[in-house]
Amino acid sequence: MISRLAARIVCAWTIAALCFARTVQPVSAFEVTVRTVDGTETVGHLTSFSLDGSLDWQPAETGDVKTPAYEIVAITSLHQTPPAPPTGAAVYLSHQGLLFGEIGDTDENGLELTSPLLGRLRVPLECVTAMVTERGRRTLSASAVRAAARRTDRDTDELWFANGDRLSGSLLAINHEYVLVETGSGSSQTPTEYLLGVFLAEAPPAADRKPRGILRLVDSSAVPVNHLRWYGPEVQAASEDWLDLAFAAKHLASLEVLGGRWRWLGSLVPSEYEQSSLAGARWPYRIDANVMDEPLSINGRTYDRGIGLHSAARLVYYLGGDYEAFVARVGMDDSAGSLADADFEILVDERTAFRRTGIGRAEPPIPVRLDIDGVQRLEIRVGFGRNGDIQDRVNLADAALIRRAAPPVGPSAP
């Protein structure tokens, strides 16, 4: 009798232990939200992730799951440290990278940066598009910096100073005392304290340097990487030729996966673009910004990715039949006024697939998901609404194409 009772107790404790083991996460697991190409966002515990392989994780209330990296759009950390305001200088990198920190000795071979989160880095100048000092960050407008950093038609480096002077030439060195530039009339030396920013002649990007992921840190840094291993609370990342990082995952706000089945529409070059307004003004379309070259914002929410348009506009892409779906969130930018009112239409192979009229400000974004399997031509139209073109600043937030099949391993378009 006693032996049977003991056996039952042991059995009960064993079952309880097994159930407990399934619900308690391993010490190395890290709580995240995973966004996949099917549009779902799921909370779970990450054990490991590799850009070259897969995500090993446990979604809430399920067992262990292995999701291929090419099926993932982004992973957002739920264990991050509180957001930290950026400090020091801002270093703008190719492929929309951005680092913050203290600038050290810099010469023709590279820029030295000490990041509060990543430590001491040496960044090749060919990877840098601009550097704005801490004084420059307080002085220059964000839109002016963005516009200058995006320019690709510079033949020489350009330096901006606090007295309004702008100097063109080749940057030779920066240290704590002076900035040295080679100009057509010889070398010029200026005290570093007067420097606001340096905008470099952009080197042609090498095909094998296309990033496969972007790390977004809690201090607003954005780091393009080609290789990444995330094991619970630790992250290791590298680029092809200069970056080699190891840091605590709590400093990571999110990871954006590039080159998988999800492709941002803004990474494609349109084959056609037309824009006209009643007043004769001309508005270029903007990538990852509204038409005012400010962050995309709809109904109080800001988006990192998307396209900004002003009525009336036509934007055409040739897709070659390579995609199965198009997704976006359409809405009026929060910077528009109360009179803003626009019509919106999407045509696939010259057939209307989506249409909305009377899009106004302070309205929730309209979700769009279209079947475009085999489609060759995608056309986006923004038309005048009830009030003509007054403040018609329409955003296609999170606009993306979904590839039909898994892409080949290796660098690919974001």
Q: Note whether 354 and 396 are within 8 A (CB).
A: no
| Tokens, residue 109 | 């071979």
Domain 2-77 identical in fold to domain 263-403: no
Q: Hey, what are 108's tokens?
A: 């023709």
Distance set, CA 194 to CA 99, 109, 178, 284 (Å):
21, 23, 9, 34
CA quadruple 218, 220, 221, 223: dihedral sign: positive
User: Distance (Å, rounded) from C-alpha 147 to C-alpha 152?
Assistant: 10
Q: How far out from the chain centre does Cα 102 lie?
A: 23
Q: What is the pLDDT of residue 8?
A: 40
Smallest Cα–Cα separation from 214: which of 364, 41, 73, 38? 73
Alpha-carbon distance of 72 to 54, in angstroms, equals 9
3-state secondary structure 87-103: CCEEEEECCCEEEEEEE
- 280: Cα separation from own chain's centroid: 33
Q: Is 254 helix (H, G, I), strand (E, B) or coil?
A: strand
Query: Which amino acid is residue 305, in one-letter code?
Result: R
Torsion angle defined by CA atoms of residues 281, 282, 285 and 290, in that order, rounded to the nearest 10 degrees = -30
Q: Considering only CA atoms, which of 177, 222, 173, 219 is closest in space to residue 198? A: 173
CA distance 307 to 29: 36
Cα gap 120→116, rounded to integer Å: 9
Evaluate whether 298 touches 290 at the Cβ level (below 8 Å): no
Give the per-residue pLDDT at 60.
86
**Which stretches of 311-371 are assigned E, i.e. beta strand?**
313-318, 323-332, 341-348, 351-360, 366-371
Terminal C-alpha separation, the chain: 69
| Closest alpha carbon to 173 in 137, 102, 125, 129 | 125
User: Could you tell me the residue ranges of all domains in the chain?
Assistant: 2-77, 89-199, 263-403
**298 close to 332: Cβ distance less than 8 angstroms:** yes
Per-residue pLDDT at 5: 39
- Residue 210 sits at the vertex; the CA angle it makes with 207 and 213, to the nearest 5 degrees, is 165
Measured distance CA(259)–CA(212) in Å, rounded = 6
- The confidence score (pLDDT) of residue 205 equals 57
The pLDDT, as a whole number, for residue 290 is 96
CATH of 2-77, one of 2.40.50.140, 2.30.30.100, 3.40.309.10, 3.10.20.70: 2.30.30.100
Q: Please, are residues 312 and 24 in contact by the beta-carbon 8 Å criterion? A: no
Q: What is the pLDDT of residue 20?
A: 33
Residues in Cβ contact with 77 at an 8 Å cutoff, skipping those fewer than 6 apart: 30, 31, 32, 249, 250, 252, 253, 254
- Residue 378's nearest CA partner among 337, 412, 414, 347 is 347
| 86: Cβ contacts below 8 Å, ≥ 6 apart | 100, 137, 219, 220, 221
Please identify, in words, the CATH class of the domain defined by 263-403.
Answer: mainly beta
What the block records as the tokens of 312 is: 């009336």
**Residue 209 near residue 410 (C-beta atoms within 8 A):** no
Q: What distance in Å separates the CA atoms of residue 54 and residue 57, rounded to the nearest whole number? A: 10
Q: Digits of tens for pLDDT over the chain (414 positions)?
A: 344 434 443 343 333 333 333 344 444 578 999 999 999 999 999 999 999 999 999 998 888 999 999 999 999 999 888 888 899 999 999 888 999 999 999 988 899 999 999 999 999 988 899 999 999 999 999 888 988 888 878 889 999 999 999 999 999 999 989 999 999 889 989 999 999 999 998 765 555 568 899 999 999 999 999 999 999 899 999 987 788 999 999 999 999 999 999 999 999 999 999 999 888 789 999 999 999 999 999 999 999 999 999 999 999 999 999 999 999 999 999 999 999 999 999 999 999 999 999 999 999 999 999 999 999 999 999 999 999 999 999 999 999 999 987 665 554 445
Q: Please give the structure tokens belonging to residue 411.
A: 């660098």
Residue type, 258: L
Closest residue by Cα to residue 144 from 287, 281, 294, 309: 294
What is the model's pLDDT at position 139?
Answer: 94
Close Cβ partners of 75 (under 8 Å, ≥ 6 residues apart): 32, 33, 34, 35, 46, 49, 55, 230, 254, 255, 257
